Every structure is written in structure tokens, then in C-alpha cells.
Structure 1
Amino acid sequence: MTPPKELSSKEQLLSLVEANPFIGQQELADQLGLSRSAVAGHLGQLTREGRILGRAYVLPQRQPIVCIGGTNLDRKLRAVGPLRMGSSNPAQQHESAGGVARNIAENLARLGLPVHLLTAVGRDAAGQTLLTQLQGLGVDCAGCLQAADAATGSYTAVLDPDGELVLALAHMELTDRLDPAFLRQTAPQRAPARWLVADLNLPRETLDELRAEARLRDQRLLLVAVSEPKMARLGTDLRGVELLVLNRGELQALSGQVLPDDAALRAAWRSLHDAGLQRLVMSDGAAGLRFSEGDDLVLLPPPRLNPASIREVTGAGDALTAGIAAALHRDPDDLRGACALGLQLAALTLQSDATVSEALSPALLV
């Protein structure tokens, strides 16, 4: 049997830089047993080869939040009268950009935060428009996958006259291409991040690798659920997950049981914590949300809204997650305050026809 080939000094150096993009040349030299000039030579060669993009000296407040997951075109059809199944129903149509990771990235950008999106779109008019819109808001889209052989994903929501979701159809196969190979290609884009926000549209193998990566690096991983069927992608080992955001139905799907009362919810949270999850936020409809505090799930009610001001619900959950991520980016220990900001952003989105409210601004973070 041929013995395994030892890594060259340059490859060993690259591994150290991938694990810690802020590492200094002298520290590299000490760990590799090389001179500092030799380290500088290897770094220069790796930069010329395009395998590293330069030093990652980023001020803490400017470390980006990296969002990875789905981007698609949202089509919302709102019935103008009572819905009749099996029949044609008059409706109003609204079309906008969508996708959980994309929506969260736009919310964060409108709040004035540095954000980088890693997603997959088709090399079609819809895909190019979606990326151009984000770049215009200041979202860094370098590293996004643009497929020439597939159409950009779509999400079609059927709403009742009050704006409540009746049925949604998602065409999101492109997101399956955000696989571990894609993660390896985009390692330089993720390396500077303080927080990584990933949605469960991602393949299970990708989520497994993100959790393993988070355990090895000083990086916080926030996972956000997208639907009950896709909870199976999460797996059972939750070590490396700093925060999971979901709703009651998704928590029931994850736990495999109905959760009718507070005692059942607490038991489900303790089970997830035992599996390695650090913190949990569960949105609970009109009741607000529950966030983990010790062994308990604390209820936080939403802001009061005039029912007549509510337009529809699409995007409110993504705004909630974005608000939580934005606040934790500033103060990672204040989950209660983060949830309060998330509820505020969700309330603004409920009062907008758009998936992401244009009322968002950096002033909300003051």
C-alpha cells in the first residue's frame, strides 16, 4: 500500500489560514517551523494563484454576517373573496424577490449591516435581476452559484383575503447544488464572518459540514427552518449550532411529537439542548415567540398592531430572524433584546405588501 503523501509546507500553511484567517505571519512561521520570509513567499504565491484573497484584517464591527441558502422569485396571489377549492378564484398578484437566506440578507442590508450572500440562481433574467437588486443594496454576492442549465427558483403563495397563507408551492432544486464542494469553493467568503446564517433549504451534507466547521472555528452558526418537511435535513447532532429559529409546527416535526402545552415545549427544548443546541427561538403566531433561557422557553408577546394595517404574512418570519441576527451581531449574549428587535421587524413586514419592508433602516438599531 502506498503511504499517504505528506502535505507540502504551502498546503499546511493554507490549512492554517483557512482555520484562522486572522493568523499572523510570525505565528504561521512558528507553527510550521519556517522562516518568516518563507511564509511571506508562500502567502504571495497562494494569493497569485487565487487560493486566498489577502489578509482578513477586519474590524469587529465590520465583520460580515454571511447568509447561505435559497433565493427565488416570490409570486403572491391574494384572493379577493372566499376561496373555493377546485374552482377558479379571482385574485390580486404581487411579484417580488424571495428566498429565506436572500430575504434575511436584504433585511440586514437595509439595517446598514455588512452582509454577504452565498446562494444559487439561474443564469437567466430573473437570477441576474435578483443579484443586481441585492448588490444595489450593498449585499456582497461574490461566490454565488449561477447555473446555465437551470432556472432560478420560485415560490408561489396563495393567500386568503386577510393575507393569511393558504397554500405555497416552492421550486427550489437549485439550492441542492449548494453542496460541500460549494462550501470549499466559498471558504474565503465565509472565513471573516462573525455570524453565519443558513437556511434548511441546504442539503443535509452541507448542514453537517457547516456544523463541523463552526465547532472548529470561532464562528457562530444560526440555522433557520423553512418548512416542516425539511426539518429532517437537520439531523440529530446539533453540536456547533449556536441558535435555531423555527415555528411551533417545525419544532413538532423535529421532535416527532405534538407539543400542546408549556411542559411539552420545555421538554422538547431540553432534548435539543442535550443534542448540542445552544439556544432556541420558536415563533408562535399571534402569541409572539418563545426564546430559551436556561431550561425554560420564555414567552415574548409581539407589538400591538391594528388588524386593519396588516397586509399579509409572507416574509415576516425572515424579518424576525434578521432582527435577531442583527442584534446578536452587536451583543451575542442578549437573546431577549434580539428577539424584541426581531418582533419589531416582523411587525413592519406584516404591514407591507413587499416580502422585505422598505421601512427598515439603520435607525432601528440605535
Structure 2
Amino acid sequence: MNDMFVVCGEALMDVYVLGPTPTGLHLDARIGGSPFNVAVGLARLGRPSALLTGLSRDAAGERLMHALQAEGVDTRLVLRSDAPTTLSVVSVDAGGLPHYAFYGHGSADRAIDSARLPALPPQVRVLQFGSYALVVEPVGSALRALAARERDRCLVAYDPNVRLNVEPDVARWRTMVEAMVALSHMVKVSDEDLGLLYPDSVPGEVARRWLSLGVQLVVLTRGARGSEAWTAGSHVAESAAPVEVVDTVGAGDTFQAALLTWLDEQQALSVAGLAALDAQRLAALLRFATRVAAITCSRRGADMPRRAELPAD
């Protein structure tokens, strides 16, 4: 299997404030970022994946690079720089409510411009885009240009993964999401994101409008309420898999990696293949992705499963 998946977007450190020390704060920094997670999830599911991102040469960037290499993610498209690593700092107040502070201005993962975009290897078949890298500059413009340039050669998949703590302007998010949807063949979105972007629309209306723009497959995740999928000819809904939830960190990223994996294994990862999915196959796709994401929910953090951990169908 020589075809490659390239995931485009950010890689960062989630920094958890665990409490005070006599001279400061006890911090726990974890590798992360939605695109980073999707690339690792694909590799663990047996797909050849690469991450196109900017990584710092600082200690956090070195840790992210080491993690990619340890997971078998191709790093030839990683652009190194002396800019700092993005930090997402999470603290919990006395009432148990989380608070988020984001430190990303001038960081390595958003410093990519069109002139620095690396050439894609010829075996690249799928480009996966997602999260805040599409709405910050200069990397957002560079990645949108990449999608426009390659969409006739590669299948373009997209997950908005709205993060208002990075860009609080919902109107800007909506504009950028619409621009990316128009370039995409497959879109996966959460009900939470749709509620932020289109509070006055029901999901089916949004899905059908996106299909009219040229998207071949729209998938909606609804957490404990399951998932739905639409093509031009079919619509299906599936229940969530029963699971004892430890946390849901990385569940959406796992779901996306699992969607791409199932479609690849079923030889449906093409524009024609997506268009040909009938209701029965759509239901099987959702069941597979739900089962994979449930394993992540049963474990602490974004600990995504490997292909061998999944029961045979």
C-alpha cells in the first residue's frame, strides 16, 4: 500500500495547571492538536500518514517531532523554525469550571505561508484539513491555496473543529468554513460546531446545502446521541456505541481517522467512491468509526486505538 494521507494543520502542547507549588505552578504539558491527533490516529490504524505543519526547534517542538517519529508518522512535510510552540493552557477554578488561555501568536504552526509550502510526494492521495490553522494567518491562506491546487488530484477531507478560544469571531469562522467546504469532497462536523456556526439551521439543511456545493459526503457527530451521514442519495443515522467514558479527548479526531481508514479499506476513498455509497455502506461506515472512537473515550486522553485492537467484523 503506497498511497499516503497528508494531514494539514497545527501541532501544539496542551498545558494543564495542576496547582500551586511553593515557588510557582505545577504544569503538565501534553502533546496534541487536532491535526496532530488525526495523523497519529491514521498511523495507528495502519494508514501511511504524514503531517504538514510547522514545528519549533524549542523543547516542546522537539517533543512533538519525537512523538510523530515514534508513531510512524512521516515527517518530511514538517517545517521547522525558531518560532515558539503553541501552548493551550487549561486551568480549573474553585468551582471545577475549566478556563482556557491560548498562546499562539507568532508560533511555528501558524508561520507557514504559500512560499514555504513543501511539494507533496507523488503518492499522496488524501489531504485532510482541520481546526484553527485554517482561520489564522498566514497558514490559513496557504492551506486553503493548497486545497484549491490539489483538489482535482487528491481527495480533500475537512473537519472545522471550531475553537473560539483561538479565534473568537464566529463570522470569520463561518466565512472560512464555507470557503473550505467549497473545496472539499468530504466534511465531518460535530453538532456543537454546527450549533456555533449556524444556530438557526437544522443539521440536515446545512448538510444538503454543502452537498449542493460539491461535497460528496457529510458526516455529523452527536456525541452520546450517535452520528449521521448524508450523500446526494442517502441519509442514515446510527446510535453511539456503549462505552464507559473516561474522557472524550481525541474522540472526534479518532472518528475522523476511522472514517478515512474504513473508506480506504473499502476502496471508496475517491470522489466516485463517496458518491456511490448507499445507505447500507454508510451505516457500516458510521458503526466502524463509532466503535473506534469509543475505545478512545474509554481511555485517558487522546490515546487512539491501533488496528489490531479492533474486533473483526
* Category of TM-score, reference length = shorter chain: 0.7 to 0.9
Q: Distance in 1 between matches of 2:224 and 2:253?
A: 16
- Paired with 1:195 and 1:343, the residues of 2 have a C-alpha distance of 21
Corresponding residue SS for 2:205: helix
- For 1:349, the equivalent position in structure 2 comes to 296
Matched, 1:247 2:190: yes
Conserved? CA contact 2:15–2:29, under 8 Å: yes
Cα displacement (A) at 1:187? 1.8
1:165–1:341: structure 2 CA closer, same or farther, 3 Å change rule?
farther
What is the 5 A alignment of 1:1-366?
61-76=1-16, 95-148=29-82, 150-157=83-90, 166-173=98-105, 174=107, 175-183=109-117, 186-189=118-121, 191-200=122-131, 201-202=133-134, 203-217=139-153, 219-227=154-162, 229=170, 230-236=173-179, 238-254=181-197, 256-259=198-201, 264-294=202-232, 297-306=235-244, 310-331=245-266, 332=268, 333=273, 334-357=281-304, 359-364=305-310
CA deviations 1:189-226 (Å, max 9, x no partner) are 3x321111111323442343233223331x10111112
After superposition, give the CA deviation of every residue in 1:314-356 in whole Å (9 maximum; x if it has no partner). 1111111111111122222454333322212221111211322
Quick one: percent identity of the two aligned structures?
A: 23
Distance verdict in 2 for CA 1:361–1:155, change over 3 Å: farther
**Secondary structure, in 3 states, of the residue corresponding to 2:303?**
coil
CA distance in 1, matches of 2:211, 2:291: 27
Alpha-carbon distance in structure 2 between the residues aligned to 1:335 and 1:165: 38
Q: Per the alignment, do residues 172 and 62 of structure 1 end up closer, same or farther by CA in structure 2, a change over 3 Å counting?
A: farther
Residues 8 and 143 in structure 2, CA contact (< 8 A), matched pair in contact too: no
Cα distance in structure 2, aligned partners of 1:346 and 1:320: 5
Counterpart of 1:134 in 2: which secondary structure? Answer: helix
Could you tell me which runs of 5 or more consecutive residues in structure 1 were left unpaired when the two chains were aligned. Answer: 1-60, 80-90
Change (3 A) 1:210 1:329: farther
Shift of 1:68: 1.1
What value does the CA root-mean-square deviation take over the aligned residues? 2.9
Letter of the aligned partner of 2:247 in structure 1?
E
Q: How many residues align?
A: 279
Superposed displacement of residue 177, structure 1: 2.1
Cα offset, 1:279, TM superposition: 1.4
Amino acid aligned to 1:75: V
Relative to structure 1, the CA distance from residue 113 to residue 169 in structure 2 (aligned partners, 3 Å threshold; closer, same or farther) is same
TM-score, normalised with respect to structure 1: 0.68
Indicate conservation of the 8 Å contact 1:72/1:172, yes or no.
no
Q: Which of structure 1's runs of 4+ aligned residues deviate more than 6 A? A: none
> Please, what TM-score do these two structures have when normalized by structure 2?
0.78
User: Contact conserved, 1:204 with 1:234, CA < 8 A, in 2?
Assistant: no
Query: Which piece of structure 1 moves more, 135-144 or 293-302?
Result: 293-302
Output one character per residue of 1:259-290: Cα deviation in whole Å (capped at 9) or x when no partner.
4xxxx322211111222222111111210111
User: Quick one: structure 1 residues 170 and 289, their matched pair in 2 at CA, closer, same or farther if it must change by over 3 Å?
Assistant: farther
CA–CA separation in structure 1 for the residues paired with 2:226 and 2:250? 15
Q: Secondary structure, in 3 states, of the residue corresponding to 2:124?
A: coil
Q: CA deviation at 1:93?
A: 6.8
Aligned to 1:194, the other structure's residue is in SS state strand
SS state of the match for residue 156, structure 1?
strand
Counterpart residue identity of residue 352, structure 1: R
Shift of 1:118: 1.1
Deviations 1:29-87 (A, max 9, x none): xxxxxxxxxxxxxxxxxxxxxxxxxxxxxxxx3211111111011234689xxxxxxxx
Instruction: Answer 1 or 2: which has greater strand percent.
Output: 2
Instruction: Please tell me whether the aligned partners of residues 158 and 181 of structure 2 are also in contact (alpha carbons under 8 angstroms).
Output: no
